[in-house]
């Protein structure tokens, strides 16, 4: 397992003398992260959130593919293998594409379970497609000096375990329902996805304020 300190020591250490990465340096970092987490798992959730600073949707897809080749669940924090390791269609790409589009359980070839499949999708929609070399200072170890804005990631599993989730986090789930693979999904897949997340949302406990203000939150002052 690899953690944040491992990334800083093994991957980012050579690039601490300058704030902007060259294209070659950014590509090297991406490849080293891909190599590191295709052969090991994120040590904890903080590590999974941290690597989002260096991923794009494309490189995340590459990571999932590489983990699957190493018989690992595509979700980087998971230490299990995907549910279906063997590909019954071998190298037949046409049959494989048909299976992915029409088999409701195709995700089991990439993930250990439906839950980690959904967690991975939710993680993916929060990634940016901005090239790594334009993310000024994101690779620097000293956050106070580099002045860069770290990419904030919310994990679906954290939201599901929260007794009193932040309202903005809840909205991020609702908004995310319409974004997860909608372009590629069949109508039945969309309905299944919406039902999954709706069921999970219904499990979250909303705690009401027992002594609400007469005027509600309208006149509540913003903290200074």
- Residue 192: pLDDT band with limits 50, 70, 90: low
CA distance from start to end of the chain: 42
List alpha helices for 75-186, DSSP H.
93-102, 114-124, 143-146, 156-161, 167-177
Quick: pLDDT tens for 57-70.
999 999 999 999 99
Quick: pLDDT tens for 119-162.
999 899 889 889 999 999 999 987 544 555 677 888 988 877 76
| Structure confidence at residue 17 (pLDDT) | 92
Quick: pLDDT tens for 25-45.
999 999 999 999 999 999 999
**2 φ, ψ (degrees, to nearest 5):** -125, 140
CA distance 64 to 123: 12
Indicate whether 223 pLDDT > 50.
no
- Residue 217: pLDDT band with limits 50, 70, 90: very low
Mean pLDDT of the chain: 76
CA distance 9 to 71: 26
The residue whose two tokens read 């902007």 is 20
15-24 average pLDDT score: 94
> How many Cβ atoms sit within 10 Å of the Cβ of residue 99?
16
Q: Is 42 helix (H, G, I), strand (E, B) or coil?
A: strand
| Structure confidence at residue 61 (pLDDT) | 95
Q: What is the DSSP letter of 52?
A: G
* Percentage of the residues of the chain whose pLDDT score is greater than 90: 44
């Amino acid at each position: 397992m690899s953690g944040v300190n491992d990334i800083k020591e093994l991957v980012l250490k050579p690039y601490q003398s300058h704030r902007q990465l060259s294209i070659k340096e950014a590509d090297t970092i991406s490849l080293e992260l891909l190599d590191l987490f295709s052969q090991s798992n994120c040590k904890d959730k903080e590590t999974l959130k941290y690597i989002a600073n260096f991923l794009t949707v494309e490189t995340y897809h590459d990571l999932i593919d590489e983990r699957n080749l190493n018989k690992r669940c595509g979700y980087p924090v998971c230490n299990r293998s995907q549910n279906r390791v063997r590909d019954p269609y071998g190298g037949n790409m046409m049959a494989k594409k048909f299976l992915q589009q029409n088999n409701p359980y195709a995700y089991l070839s990439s993930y250990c379970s439906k839950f980690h499949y959904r967690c991975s999708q939710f993680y993916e929609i929060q990634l940016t497609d901005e090239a790594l070399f334009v993310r000024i200072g994101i690779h620097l170890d000293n956050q106070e000096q580099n002045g860069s804005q770290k990419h904030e990631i919310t994990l679906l599993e954290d939201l599901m375990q929260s007794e009193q989730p932040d309202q903005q986090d809840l909205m991020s789930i609702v908004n995310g329902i319409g974004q997860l693979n909608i372009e590629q999904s069949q109508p039945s897949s969309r309905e299944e996805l919406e039902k999954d997340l709706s069921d999970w949302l219904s499990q979250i406990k909303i705690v009401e304020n027992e002594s609400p203000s007469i005027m509600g939150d309208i006149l509540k002052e913003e903290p200074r």
